[in-house]
Amino acid sequence: MCLNFIEDGYCHATGEKCILGSRGARARNEQRQCELHGEFDVWLTNGKVLMTDLGFPPDEPVQSIGLGVSEVVASRLAAERSKRLGVPVTTSQRRCIECGCLYWVSNHARSPGLTRREYVIFCPACLGKAGRPEIERRLVENRHWCG
C-alpha cells in the first residue's frame, strides 16, 4: 500500500485526490507506480523539519509529512512546512570524506558486499574510484577520528 494513501482517497503528502485513484490503495512506494514516489521521507520533529533518505529518524518524529516520495516532492514539502511553522529544514545529506561534495545515500546503487557505512562516508563517484584497500583505510580512519 502507498504510504501516503489516506482511506478517503486523498494523498497525505499533497492533500489532493490520489493521482492513481482507487489503485492508489495498492500502489507500493518502492514500485514507483505514482510519479510522487521515491526514496525520501519528510518528518516534523521537535523544532525542525527533517528531509531524509535514510528511513525512520533517530529522534522521535512528531508528525509524518511525506513518506516514500521523490526528492523534488520532499524538498517542496519540507520548504512549505518549514516556512509555515518558522522552523529550519534539516537533511540527511552527506559530505564525502574524499572529495567533499554533498550527496544522498540513496544515490548509491546497492551492491552486494558493500556495507552501509561505506555509503555514508563516500559519494558514489569516489566509492566507485576507490579500491578496497583505500576504502578500508578510510573507514578505519573515520572510526578512529569519530571515537
**What is the pTM assigned to this prediction?**
0.78
Q: Give, as one character, the DSSP assignment of residue 17.
A: B
The CA distance from 117 to 24, in Å, is: 35
- What lies within 8 Å, CB to CB, of 78 at 6+ separation is 42, 49, 50, 51, 65, 89, 91
HSE-up (13 A, CA, CB side) for residue 63: 11
Give the pLDDT band (50/70/90) at residue 112: low
56-97 residue pLDDT tens: 777 777 889 999 999 999 999 999 999 999 999 999 999 998
10-39 residue pLDDT tens: 999 999 999 999 888 899 888 888 999 998
